Structure 1
Amino acid sequence: MDLLLLLGKGMVVTIQLFLLTLIFALPLGLVVSFGRRSKSFIINGLTGIYISIMRGTPLILQLVAVYFGPYYIFGGKIDRFTAAIIAFSLNYAAYFAEIYRGGIESIPRGQYEAGEVLGFTKAQVFFKIILPQVIKRILPAISNEVITLVKDTALVTTIGVAEMFRAANNEMSRIASIQPLFVAGVFYYIMNLVVAQVFKFTEKKLSYYR
């Protein structure tokens, strides 16, 4: 019972990290996808470099850089949990941006023209006609990234965030048993089952966009 209580506290931190990352990364990814499709050479180039760096370097390296970087560069400190949120949000926004871009570019040009004929502004065409179709098309890819995020939250143990994996690892060392890791594995599996079911339900609700 004590083990479940201990891991439960760590799971709360894991869930907070998971939800806050999605809250920041999903809209940021959409903004970055706009930049990637921009006709401006500078904006397109900068967002391309950002995506390349985020996807081309390990997340664990980004975590360490965000946490220790301010100390070595500015002489200041940043909260461990805040550093984790920043690193995860920047990393996942890059992946979401490419998913968004692929979804947007898969929509036929005629959809835009039809909206303009109806008298919609460009913003109205995008948010009322294009975006709903894009969401339906990219849900499977987004769900894969979100499921990966659940598992990646264990990486924050490298900068000392007391999430579920760190709690399990500490308890395993204390009682000299692998049981805490098995219990933590069950918790992660349940979280991913919930995430998968949420996306499955959402896909069914949006099936009329097919």
Structure 2
Amino acid sequence: MNLDFERIMPSLPYILEGIPMTLKVVAVAAVIGIVLGIVLSLMKISRMKPLKWIADFYTSIFRGTPLVLQLMLIYFGSPQLFGVQIDAFEAAFLSFGLNSAAYISEVIRGGINAVDKGQREAALALGVPYSSMMLSIILPQAFKNILPALMNEFITLTKESAIVTTIGLADIMRRSYIVGGETYKFFEPILFAGLIYYVMVMILTVIGKLVEGRMKRSD
């Protein structure tokens, strides 16, 4: 084995500087995914069939095509479609957010359907408006049930964010690849990048368990 970790040691801070970029992409994409996911889930359980068809079609598109393809269509296709080159960061969080919304909508829909129908009927019988019922009664209970699935989606989002290196965004993976090109040692910096992702995923896992435990104690 021809490993030389000492050679990449001076470049480790440079790779670590990619963490904020990765976290920004994941954070913005997660917000888009949750907000749009809630809207799509409500459309899917709506009695208005056109809304349900639109939401199902949206989900089928983003779940049925590779995420890297969606990323490249948004980034490389924007000049041809809109005459403007979308920034790499914007293309990253848009593609990840729109993709994540498709999966999160299914998770939320399942959580809403798992809530006892009696509570919905009781709220409607008391004259509670539909929007207030969903926001104040149904969705909070649904989120308690789907928290593990949501955390799993955020973990997946964090790991899959590495593909933004394909559009040149200076995230963790891109920086480790640059270090590999400069030192002619690719295994070591990429392994270090893998360690960073592993630590971030473990932190997310711990946070998820803490939040889940607190929500259970509040029942």
Give me the TM-score of the superposition, normalised by structure 1.
0.94
> Which residue does 2:191 correspond to in 1?
182
> Which residue does 2:31 correspond to in 1?
23
> Which residue does 2:140 correspond to in 1?
132
CA contact 1:136–1:209 (8 Å) conserved in 2: no
> Which residue does 2:3 correspond to in 1?
none
> Which residue does 2:201 correspond to in 1?
192
Q: 1:138 corresponds to which letter in structure 2? A: I
> Which residue does 1:89 correspond to in 2?
97
Q: Which runs of 5+ in 2 are unaligned?
A: 1-8
CA contact 1:55–1:95 (8 Å) conserved in 2: yes
More moved, 59-68 vs 31-40: 31-40
Please give the alpha-carbon distance, in whole angstroms, between the structure 1 residues aligned to 2:122 and 2:206: 35
| 1:206 alignment partner, SS class | helix
Give 2:46's match in structure 1, choosing from 38, 47, 51. 38
CA contact 1:18–1:153 (8 Å) conserved in 2: yes
Give 1:60's match in structure 2, choosing from 38, 63, 68. 68
Q: How many residues align?
A: 210
Q: Give 1:80 deviation, angstroms.
A: 0.9
Deviations 1:25-76 (Å, cap 9, x if unpaired)?
A: 1111101111122222221111111100000000000000011122122332
Q: Give 1:2 deviation, angstroms.
A: 3.0
More moved, 168-177 vs 158-167: 168-177
> Which residue does 1:145 correspond to in 2?
153
Give me the TM-score of the superposition, normalised by structure 2.
0.90
Please give the alpha-carbon distance, in whole angstroms, between the structure 1 residues aligned to 2:48 and 2:124: 23
Percent of matched pairs sharing the same residue = 38
Q: Which runs of 5+ in 1 are unaligned?
A: none
Q: Give 1:208 deviation, angstroms.
A: 4.3
Give 1:75's match in structure 2, choosing from 70, 75, 83. 83
Please give the alpha-carbon distance, in whole angstroms, between the structure 2 residues aligned to 1:18 and 1:135: 20
Q: 1:132 corresponds to which letter in structure 2? A: P
CA contact 1:133–1:209 (8 Å) conserved in 2: no
